[in-house]
């Protein structure tokens, strides 16, 4: 048996091991994080986007089904829920500041959530997308575990929702800093809330790495928008579809 055949047999065996795909996922993110830090934390060098490109390239090159990969790396997917809930801790530690900004938070939350839903719907209609695809896109403004749950409840396609949600987060996290600087928003509470509202988990991770106050308000926006959107989307659907 040649060395090439031996390597192939080892590769086939490793594909069936859950720990292998978990290691690949973590390794891809570490590469992305390394490049992100080397770029002086340039928002355009997003570690999540780099991780997705690396893993997608591996799956396509070796012709591996996504289901096989997901079964191996689903432990990370499981941790999304607890990680989202854990964001309550830094928010609680700054509860006095949150109460002080309660009115601004409420108004921004409602307007921002409604805008995200309606702009998604009308752009989808302009491009004449299928109704089920539209339903899959509507929850894109909240973090992935919640958006997928909403999508399933409103007869969307959760897998498509996940892709669109993650894309929204990557684009938002990459461009939010430039947009907020351009319109001269300096207040960290406002910047953080805007980032969390527009780019949920991925944006919150970036905000946390740059400024504590911005990170807390980004986490707050992420959590509250999940609650608000999950309530208002079923109501809106009755009127627009």
Q: What is the pLDDT of residues 17-33, one digit of tens each?
A: 667 888 888 899 999 99
CA 218 to CA 232: how far, in whole Å?
Answer: 21
The predicted pLDDT at position 134 comes to: 92
Same domain, 42 and 122: no
pLDDT at 18: 65
Conformational region of residue 42, where left means phi above 0, alpha means psi within -120 to 50, and beta covers everything else: beta
Domain boundary among 25, 57, 83: 83
Split into its structural domains, the chain has a count of 2
Are residues 126 and 119 in contact, defined by beta-carbon separation less than 8 angstroms?
Answer: no
Same structural domain, 67 and 150 = no
Residue in 100, 108, 137 with CA at minimum distance from that of residue 121: 137
Residues 180 and 226 in one domain: yes
pLDDT at 2: 55
Verify that 73 and 182 share a domain, yes or no.
no
How far apart CA 129 and CA 134 sit, in angstroms, is 7
Looking from the CA of 185 toward its CB, the CA atoms found within 13 Å total 15
Q: Are residues 198 and 105 in the same domain?
A: yes
Sign of CA dihedral 187, 191, 197, 198: positive
Q: What is the pLDDT of residue 241?
A: 64
Q: Residue 169's domain spans which residues? A: 87-241
DSSP assigned state of 55: H
Q: What's the pLDDT score for residue 67?
A: 79
185 and 161 part of one domain: yes
Cβ–Cβ < 8 Å for 104, 113: no
Taking the CB of residue 129, how many other CB atoms lie within 10 A of it?
A: 14
b/e per residue, 81-90, with b = 16+ CB within 10 A?
eeebeebeeb
150-208 pLDDT per residue, tens: 998 898 998 899 889 989 988 988 888 889 989 998 889 999 999 999 888 888 888 88
* Burial bucket for residue 174 (CB in 10 Å: 0-12, 13-18, 19+): buried
pLDDT at 108: 92
Give the pTM. 0.78
In this structure, the answer to whether residues 130 and 170 fall within a common structural domain is yes
Render pLDDT for 79-130 as a digit per residue (tens, 0 to 9). Answer: 777 877 787 888 888 888 888 889 999 999 999 999 999 999 999 999 988 8
pLDDT, residue 122, reads 92
**What proportion of the chain, given as a percentage, has pLDDT over 70?**
92
Indicate the residue among 45, 61, 83 that finishes a domain. 83
User: pLDDT at position 92, please?
Assistant: 85
Same domain, 40 and 151: no
- Does 124 lie in the same domain as 79? no
Residues 175 and 59 in one domain: no
Give the residue from 61, 83, 105 where a domain finishes: 83
DSSP secondary structure letter of residue 209: H
Does 174 lie in the same domain as 194?
yes
Domain identity same for 141 and 211: yes
* pLDDT given at position 143: 84
């Amino acid at each position: 048996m040649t060395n090439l055949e031996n390597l192939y047999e080892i590769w086939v065996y490793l594909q069936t091991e859950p720990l292998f795909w978990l290691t690949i996922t973590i390794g891809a993110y570490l590469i992305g994080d390394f490049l992100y830090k080397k770029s002086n934390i340039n928002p355009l060098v997003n570690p999540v986007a780099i991780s997705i490109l690396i893993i997608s390239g591996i799956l396509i090159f070796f012709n591996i089904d996504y289901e096989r990969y997901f079964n191996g790396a689903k432990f990370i997917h499981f941790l999304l829920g607890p990680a989202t809930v854990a964001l309550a801790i830094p928010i609680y530690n700054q509860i006095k500041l949150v109460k002080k900004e309660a009115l601004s938070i409420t108004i921004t939350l409602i307007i921002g959530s409604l805008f995200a839903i309606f702009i998604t719907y009308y752009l989808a209609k302009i491009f004449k997308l299928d109704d089920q695809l539209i339903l899959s896109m509507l929850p894109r403004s909240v973090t992935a575990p919640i958006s997928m749950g909403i999508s399933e409840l409103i007869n969307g396609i959760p897998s498509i929702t996940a892709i669109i949600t993650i894309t929204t987060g990557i684009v938002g996290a990459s461009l939010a800093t430039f947009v907020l600087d351009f319109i001269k928003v300096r207040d960290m509470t406002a910047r953080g809330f805007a980032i969390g509202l527009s780019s949920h988990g991925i944006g919150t991770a970036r905000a946390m790495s740059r400024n504590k106050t911005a990170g807390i308000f980004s986490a707050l926006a992420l959590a509250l928008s999940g609650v608000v959107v999950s309530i208002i989307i079923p109501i809106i659907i009755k009127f627009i579809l």
